[in-house]
Chains A and B, each alone.
Chain A
Amino acid sequence: MLDQSHPALDGQSVSIRDLQLDFGSVSVLRDLNLDIHKGEFLVLLGASGCGKSTLLNCIAGLLEPTGGQIFIEGKNVTWAEPSERGIGMVFQSYALYPQMTVEGNLSFGLKNARLPKDEIAKRVARAAEILHLGPLLKRKPAALSGGQRQRVAIGRALVRDVDVFLFDEPLSNLDAKLRAELRVELKRLHNSLDSTMIYVTHDQVEAMTLADRIAIMKGGVIQQLAAPLEIYNRPANLYVADFIGAPPMNLLRGDLRGSEFRGAVTVPMVGYDFAAPPRDGAAVFGIRPEHVLVGEAAATAPVRTEVTVEIVEPMGADTLLWTRIGEDDFRIRIDGQTPIRGGDRITIGLDPARASLFDAATELRL
């Protein structure tokens, strides 16, 4: 293993360069580059089969890439064994050693690395304290709840005293309530440890709430790498726009002429921050349901149009209205107490500054 560090990697905890992974003729990861800062919480987000878990397994050394390099803490670990990479990993299925106690699970790897007994005891005690595992140490995994098991799995990564933690959908096997609790605990853990965390999930709420930056993947390629709000506000392409947000962004097809969007509704793109100089051609106008203005706010909006409410879905805190603009479904999220019923005709307002515009051919943000 090479120990020299590269000036290009200063400040980077994990650096992936031109990573390629082929299974036979199928490329799972394509020429992928990614720099993860020291202490960063990075979430790899995408639908199943997008390559996010594959990428994580490559970083861990559990899968061997076909091409490219991986650096961890400045060291080239492309050919290193998983245990030599200075990583700890937490799995979706917990992967606890079922016949060992919690203490055995935490110390097994350390004993195997022939660490001194008092050092092992110290590390286990520290992990147990951080994760509140103290009373569980003598129990076996079968006697633990899902949340407790996952805390043990995190503890097993923790005792390795590493700089980089890898999480492979760690909360997916838990029910919604536990998931929310452990999410907060993970965030707290990250704040107190200051180590780098790479976290794979298909759950956008987890991604938005935990991440410093999110990398959205599709087809083995990173679609957008940015802070959560940046991704939410300025999706880099149609895929990201549609993937992030529930319900997803409303998309209207039409043309861009001058700097005016013309479709079932015409929107002069005044105040819109173009990513590139506007070019005429087929375009897609996108606006999130929660950014559509109704009531008094709609009256003063730059663009107004009338729609018929087809279906009302009250969800308590807010209510979702299903309408139509031209041929396209159009969803509007409004305050839960607004008295609107199916069949009502309402005026809505659109603010181009909060909208997104995409080239219909390349699907990239304009």
Chain B
Amino acid sequence: MSTRRPSSLLRNPMAKLAAVPMVVTATVVFIGCSLWTVVYSFTDSKLLPRANFDGFAQYDRLWSSSRWIASVENLAIYGILTLLLSLTLGFVFAALLDQKIRGENVFRSIILYPYALSFIVTGLVWQWILNPDLGIQGMVRAAGWESFAFDPLNSPGLVMVALLMAGLWQGTGLVTVIMLAGLRGVDEDIWKASRVDGIPAWKTYLLVVVPILRPVFVTSVVLIGAGIVKLYDLVVALTGGGPGNASEVPAKYVYDYMFANQNLGQGFAASTMMLLAVLVIVIPWAVLEFGGKRRG
């Protein structure tokens, strides 16, 4: 045995070496890069980042841009509807699958397979199905209903419906699978107890099981929420942001200003707003979820 313990910095050097990528990722990329962007959002950077500070000018420009405001509104609509619909549908599908049905695996595979596909593939398929001349609209018209109109890709009022159709098709399977795992984890005796109490199944689901599944719902909300903020590829592939600004979203605004319009400052300001929005949602959630446990 050695006479002196090595200093704490040198103990387990391998473990520290193994953690270097994590430390670098956490500090340089997640903290460093985010701070860099926030700082440069106060500059007038155009083609290249310049430390020429300009106060809140970029933010003034951002919030007076009709495209940015449309992007925020679109994302809000998409986000709220996606959240509500995928939670509801996911839970209902999971409850249906939980009825001891035949072919459960087949159905689960069917509802989950789009999750394996990229948003680009998803967007392109639905773009084709919603093609006004050759897709659903064209087919119904050819079948004799001449006045039938369903052309969401070219109607500003409906284009978000197209995004929802594709987005829910891609992502509901994930929520279903998570909910189903949650349902399977509910103590079977709870169901027995509610049968002895004579409580109908739907009431048990609503009043007993849903409250039990609260953590599963929270997880789903976080996952769906993270997906909503990132919404970009689907828009690029399905609508390109159009018609007009009707399906623009913040992530696309950022990309376009940074890499296409060569207006980095605007991109930085827009992405800082995205970060702010996420923080406003994530911090209260984190405090609620983990704040209590820390004390214990």
Contact = CB atoms under 8 A, between A and B. Distances in A.
Interface of A: 57, 60-62, 81-84, 87-89, 91-99, 108-109, 112-113, 156, 160, 168
Given A108-B197, A112-B198, A113-B198, A60 B203 contact: no
Contacts of B208: 97, 99
Interface of B: 187, 189-190, 192-200, 203, 207-208, 211-212, 214
Contact of B196 (A83, A93, A96, A98): A83
Given A99-B211, A112-B203, A93 B195 contact: no
Given A97-B208, A98-B212, A89 B190 contact: no
B198 to A, nearest CB: 3
Given A60-B192, A97-B190, A82 B198 contact: yes
A91 B198 contact: no
A95 B203 contact: no
- 5 tightest A-B CB contacts, nearest first: A83-B198, A109-B197, A99-B211, A95-B189, A91-B189
B179 to A, nearest CB: 17
B196 A88 contact: yes
A91 B197 CA distance: 13
Contact of A112 (B189, B193, B197, B214): B197
A156 B208 CA distance: 15
Contact of B195 (A62, A98, A113): A62
A96 B198 CA distance: 15
16 contacts: A60-B196, A61-B195, A62-B196, A81-B195, A81-B198, A82-B192, A83-B196, A92-B189, A95-B190, A96-B193, A98-B211, A99-B208, A99-B212, A112-B197, A156-B197, A160-B196
A88 B208 CA distance: 19
Contact of A82 (B187, B195, B203): B195
Nearest to B211: A99
A91 B199 contact: no
Contacts of A109: 196-199
Contacts, number: 66
A112 B199 contact: yes
Given A83-B198, A88-B196, A93 B211 contact: no
A302 B195 CA distance: 59
Contacts of A60: 192, 196
A89 B212 contact: no
Nearest to A110: B197
A89 B193 contact: yes
A92 B190 CA distance: 11
A91 B211 contact: no
Nearest to B192: A62
- Most chain-B CB neighbours within 10 Å: which of A62, A84, A94, A160? A62
Contacts of B199: 108-109, 112
Given A89-B192, A94-B189, A97-B190, 8 more contacts: A60-B196, A62-B196, A82-B192, A91-B189, A92-B189, A95-B187, A98-B211, A168-B189
A57 B207 CA distance: 24
B199 to A, nearest CB: 5
Contacts of A93: 187, 189
Contact of A87 (B194, B196, B200, B212): B196
Contacts of B214: 99
Contacts of A83: 195-198
Contacts of A168: 189
Contacts of A82: 192, 195-196, 198
- Most chain-B CB neighbours within 10 Å: which of A84, A92, A95, A156? A95
A39 B212 CA distance: 37
B192 A95 contact: yes
Contacts of A94: 189
- Most chain-A CB neighbours within 10 Å: which of B192, B194, B195? B192
A61 B192 CA distance: 10
A57 to B, nearest CB: 8
Nearest to A95: B189
B262 to A, nearest CB: 55
A89 B192 CA distance: 9
Contacts of B211: 97-99
A156 B198 contact: no
Given A98-B211, A99-B212, A89 B187 contact: no
Nearest to A162: B196
A87 B187 CA distance: 21
B193 A91 contact: yes
A94 B189 CA distance: 8
A93 B191 CA distance: 12
Contacts of A98: 211-212
Contacts of A113: 198
B193 A156 contact: yes
B206 to A, nearest CB: 12
A98 B212 CA distance: 7
A221 to B, nearest CB: 24
A91 B195 contact: no
- Most chain-B CB neighbours within 10 Å: which of A61, A89, A160? A89
Contacts of A57: 192
